[in-house]
Amino acid sequence: MRHHGESSAPVSPQNSAQPRSDWTTLSRLLPYLWQYKWRVVVAIVFMVGAKVTNVGVPVLLKNLVDAMDVKPGDPAIVLVVPVGLLLAYGLLRLSTSLFTELRELVFSKATQGAARSIALQTFEHLHALSLRFHLERQTGGMTRDIERGVRGIESLISFTLFNIGATLIEVAMVLTVLAVKFDAWFAWITLAALAFYITFTVVLTEWRTQFRRQANEFDSAAHSKAVDSLLNYETVKYFNNEAFEAGRYDESLQRLRTARLKAQSTLSLLNTGQQLIIAIGLVAMLWRATQGVVDGRMTLGDLVMVNAFMIQLYIPLNFLGVIYREIKQSLTDLDKMFTLMDKEREVADAPGAQPLTGLERADVRFENVEFAYDPARPILKGISFDIPAGKTVAVVGPSGSGKSTLARLLFRFYDIQQGRITIAGQEIRSVTQASVRRAIGIVPQDTVLFNDTVAYNIAYGRTGATQAEIEAAARAARIHDFIAATPKGYATQVGERGLKLSGGEKQRVAIARTLLKNPPILIFDEATSALDSANERAIQAELHSAAQNKTTLLIAHRLSTVVEAHQILVMDAGCIIERGTHAELLARGGRYASMWALQQSGEVA
């Protein structure tokens, strides 16, 4: 729901900033990993160990083949091919797998720890962002970006360090063995094939990335539309727009399908080109090795070793395109999550801000406050009023006059452009936001509940409350009897956004939640708007009792709920046009008196 001039154009947070370079994104990740530096070092040692044993397998295989160069039936064959050599071959094979699993075992804690830290920081940062950001966000797309970012951390680390890094170590070892044991041509042919292979893979994958990126964007868009439509299920049904919503979703799915088909066709081109380069390189190496055997410069064991080296190298390289693409995608996903983390806080604590103090006399003061969600449309124009400690001030007026904006500013969801707002004599911009919000309790006009139990939602006002305290708050809000009458009592699930409860039931849960919090300052923003007359009168009595000795801001549309306020402010178009007690305003015969007359006669003001 848009509020008083806020921008109506949704801005997708994930697309609001230019992507960073891959190295910048990678450098942001390293400090999280370096918290587990000893695990990183040990994992790298195991990785090198796995590659050394892997390179040793073809060398040992060559010795086995050369040892078999004896005449059939020669009794020396048992001595030439000792059992120990076969056992050593098997041990090397086992060692490769053993080192790999030890590496995964040691490093998994670092990977999962880094993912947890980044996900938690992102979650905390999103809660620290302003209300404006959350009103403009697309929840489905944003949550999908966080999900992909966390998943991308593990993929990025695994592929970068243990696939690309490990393969480069193995390539260096193989090239060294080939150059030292044979001639340099073997190393040059291998190096040339690898260079062509890597260049082709990187260039084509970079070109293909645009299609993968488009597919992800269309995926997020489709997910956002689906989530938004399902969250607004009742509205869709009210206007019989199931077919319209399905059409919107199908349009996004069609764009996603087109992008994924392009990605798949270019992947086929990439794989075909890679196999061609591998085949040419392998043929060139085996031709050179075969010539060496014919010329007597090499043995059959050497030929087998060269072939085994090539197979071992090209098996991981065969997945280089996939690995490189996944690395690029993981970097993109991680960058989007870092972009969320880098969103500037529109409302931030001042350096060295201290908590609110003196709340035993928590008076509230607005001094010449001016505010606009959009500079082109001012909402509050020089608003000034006091709420003395322990007193109740009511604000009435037509919709759009700025009444609910007062509550948002007091909670410091936004910062004002001019003037001051103070609590207990301290300007709220100079103290911590947490202490300001801890001092205020609100019953909002639109109550949204968590998809959990009734008890959980009431206890959200004070998370450490006992069951007895929860029930006492429910009784005060006149909802205990209703809860007790349900089959599961306080364990009753309220559904998504509390949709299993009626509007009045949700509002009474919100009242109970605020009563349980028991703060020194209360805000009732149309707190009884969803209640019937009988329950409204009962709840009004409870609210009046709860507001005793508390500083209370009462925002109302029905004037009957503000009669007992110590002062009533009448707002219109962002200005206070009248102020006084109920009796004084009636005697004055102005706007308040006309609103009262209209409501008393049963008309809508």
* CATH code of residue 477: 3.40.50.300
* CATH number where 287 lies: 1.20.1560.10
Chain center to CA of 150: 9
pLDDT number for residue 443: 82
* pLDDT tens-place string over residues 178-216: 888 877 788 888 888 888 888 888 888 778 777 777 887
- Residues 373 and 512 occupy one common structural domain: no
pLDDT number for residue 3: 41
Choosing from 303, 318, 341, the residue where a domain stops is 341
Residue the block writes with tokens 């949550």 = 143
How far does the chain reach from its first CA to its final CA, in angstroms?
22
Q: How confident is the model at residue 1 (pLDDT cuts 50, 70, 90)?
A: very low
Residue 336 lies in a domain: yes
Given a cut of 70, whether residue 141 has pLDDT beyond it is no
Choosing from 341, 372, 407, the residue where a domain stops is 341
Given a cut of 60, whether residue 252 has pLDDT beyond it is yes
Q: How confident is the model at residue 69 (pLDDT cuts 50, 70, 90)?
A: low
Its domain, for residue 451, covers: 447-518
Token pair for residue 510? 């919100």
Sheet with 440-443, edge to edge strand ranges: 440-443, 521-525, 551-555, 392-396, 567-572, 575-580
Measured torsion, CA atoms of residues 15, 20, 26, 28, in degrees rounded to the nearest 10: -80
H/E stretch holding 380 reads: strand 380-387
Q: How confident is the model at residue 604 (pLDDT cuts 50, 70, 90)?
A: very low
Q: Do residues 592 and 578 lie in contact, with contact meaning Cβ atoms separated by under 8 Å? A: yes
Rounded to 5°, the CA angle 221-223-225 comes to 70
Determine the Cα–Cα distance for residues 427 and 442; give it in Å rounded to an integer.
20
Measured torsion, CA atoms of residues 159, 161, 165, 166, in degrees rounded to the nearest 10: -80
pLDDT number for residue 144: 67
DSSP state of 563: T
Residue 5 lies in a domain: no
* pLDDT tens-place string over residues 380-406: 888 888 988 888 888 888 877 788 888
The lowest-confidence range among 392-401, 504-513, 535-544, 583-592 is 535-544
Given a cut of 50, whether residue 603 has pLDDT beyond it is no
Nearest one of 554, 576, 580 to 567, comparing CA atoms: 580
Q: How confident is the model at residue 601 (pLDDT cuts 50, 70, 90)?
A: confident
Its sign, for the CA torsion 159, 164, 169, 174, is positive
- Residues 472 and 601 occupy one common structural domain: no
H helices of 486-581, in order, are 503-517, 533-546
Q: How confident is the model at residue 496 (pLDDT cuts 50, 70, 90)?
A: low
Q: Average pLDDT for residues 294-314, to the nearest whole number? A: 80
Residue 1 lies in a domain: no
pLDDT number for residue 605: 39
pLDDT number for residue 5: 39
Q: Average pLDDT for residues 571-584, to the nearest whole number? A: 86
Q: How confident is the model at residue 138 (pLDDT cuts 50, 70, 90)?
A: low
Q: How confident is the model at residue 136 (pLDDT cuts 50, 70, 90)?
A: low
Q: How confident is the model at residue 530 (pLDDT cuts 50, 70, 90)?
A: low
Given a cut of 70, whether residue 501 has pLDDT beyond it is yes
pTM above 0.95, yes or no: no
Q: Do residues 396 and 562 lie in contact, with contact meaning Cβ atoms separated by under 8 Å? A: yes
Compare 141 and 386 and report the one with higher pLDDT: 386
- Residues 458 and 537 occupy one common structural domain: no
- Count of Cβ atoms closer than 10 Å to residue 75 Cβ: 7
- Residues 35 and 136 occupy one common structural domain: yes
Given a cut of 60, whether residue 172 has pLDDT beyond it is yes
pLDDT number for residue 176: 84
The lowest-confidence range among 319-323, 471-475, 551-555 is 319-323
* pLDDT tens-place string over residues 433-460: 888 888 888 888 777 788 788 888 888 8
Residue 327 lies in a domain: yes
Choosing from 518, 533, 558, the residue where a domain stops is 518
Rounded to 5°, the CA angle 300-303-306 comes to 150
* pLDDT tens-place string over residues 584-598: 888 888 888 888 888
Q: Do residues 525 and 473 lie in contact, with contact meaning Cβ atoms separated by under 8 Å? A: no
Nearest one of 342, 481, 512, 411 to 131, comparing CA atoms: 411
Packing angle of the helix pair 503-517, 533-546 (nearest 10 deg): 10
Q: Under DSSP, is residue 578 helix (H, G, I), strand (E, B) or coil?
A: strand
- Count of domains for the chain: 3
* pLDDT tens-place string over residues 337-384: 777 777 776 677 778 888 878 777 888 889 888 888 877 788 888 888
pLDDT number for residue 15: 41
pLDDT number for residue 8: 34
Q: What is the largest CA-CA distance in the chain?
A: 126
Given a cut of 70, whether residue 220 has pLDDT beyond it is yes
Given a cut of 70, whether residue 14 has pLDDT beyond it is no
Percentage of the chain modeled with pLDDT above 70: 84
Given a cut of 60, whether residue 12 has pLDDT beyond it is no
Residue 263 lies in a domain: yes
Q: Do residues 293 and 333 lie in contact, with contact meaning Cβ atoms separated by under 8 Å? A: no
> Mean pLDDT of all residues in the chain?
78
* pLDDT tens-place string over residues 93-127: 788 888 888 888 888 888 778 878 877 877 777 76
Q: How confident is the model at residue 301 (pLDDT cuts 50, 70, 90)?
A: confident
Given a cut of 70, whether residue 582 has pLDDT beyond it is yes
Residue 228 lies in a domain: yes
pLDDT number for residue 132: 65
pLDDT number for residue 25: 72
- Residues 501 and 527 occupy one common structural domain: no
- Residues 85 and 61 occupy one common structural domain: yes
Residue 348 lies in a domain: no
- Count of Cβ atoms closer than 10 Å to residue 151 Cβ: 14
- Residues 434 and 525 occupy one common structural domain: yes
pLDDT number for residue 100: 81
Residue 4 lies in a domain: no
- Residues 31 and 48 occupy one common structural domain: yes
- Residues 366 and 381 occupy one common structural domain: yes
Determine the Cα–Cα distance for residues 438 and 149; give it in Å rounded to an integer.
32
- Residues 212 and 316 occupy one common structural domain: yes
- Residues 168 and 303 occupy one common structural domain: yes
- Count of Cβ atoms closer than 10 Å to residue 507 Cβ: 27
- Residues 512 and 529 occupy one common structural domain: no
Given a cut of 60, whether residue 495 has pLDDT beyond it is yes
pLDDT number for residue 85: 64
